[in-house]
Chains A and B, each alone.
Chain A
């Protein structure tokens, strides 16, 4: 079983502040990395699918970077809003897809 780790486990952010958190994964046999956002009482939804070392992707105020050689990805939220409150999951793919435990973000108004 692969070790996909996300840190921190949870964080609280003031509205308007920016934040970031990490997904760490094995650096060997990399195929792809996914980021998902899971809001309470909703379905997890895909944010990014990243496949190339050095990839940077952006969707609105959320962006992600990928370093496959050292085995990490960062997710950034710029100018956090209450609607950004959710659990953010990363998933590492070599020959199977393995999820981390998630980072739960709470944005305080």
Chain B
């Protein structure tokens, strides 16, 4: 079974530039999550999708971050314009069950450095 795919693995940009991350979840997983993990902190949920609908985006900085999951399969997370504090690992995860009863399957993450 193929795992969660993410790209790019690493990205270095200057502040005020834009960046996009892509995630392809495990086939058949309806729930998809994007997390931001800043060094020394736990992963913070940015957005949760159930199929192509948004379940929770309460912690997504909507003035600069956007995410979509067209057709309920793969997803993109965009940051525009980036700030220094956006430097983090962006983790995508998927689950076959909603509500947290099922384990999450994570990608390897996209490490963003904003200079």
Chain B residues with a Cβ under 8 A of chain A: 3-4, 33, 35, 40-45, 48, 56, 91, 93, 99-109
Which positions in A face B, CB cutoff 8 Å? 4, 6, 31-32, 34, 36, 41-46, 49, 51, 89, 91, 93, 96-102
Decide: A49 near B102, CB < 8 A? Known: A42-B108, A43-B3.
yes
Min Cβ gap A99→B in Å is: 4
- Residues from chain A with a CB closer than 8 A to the CB of B100 are 31-32, 34, 91, 93, 96-97
A51 → B minimal CB distance (Å): 7
Residues of B within 8 A of A34 (CB): 100, 103-104
Residues A49 and B3 in contact, CB atoms below 8 Å apart: no
A interface: dominant SS: strand
Which B residues are CB-close (under 8 A) to A102?
A: 42
Interface centre among A44, A51, A100 (most CB of B within 10 A): A44
A91 to B3, CA, bound (A): 21
Residues on the A chain within 8 Å of B99, using CB: 31, 93
Contacts of B105 in A (CB 8 A): 43, 46
Which A residue sits closest to B100, measured CB to CB? A93
Knowing A31-B99, A34-B100, A96-B56 are in contact, say whether A4-B42 is a contact too (CB < 8 A). yes
Other-chain contact of A44, B40, B41, B48, B106 (Cβ < 8 Å): B106
14 intermolecular pairs with C-beta atoms under 8 Å apart: A4-B42, A32-B100, A34-B100, A36-B104, A41-B108, A43-B4, A43-B105, A43-B108, A43-B109, A46-B104, A96-B45, A99-B35, A99-B44, A101-B41
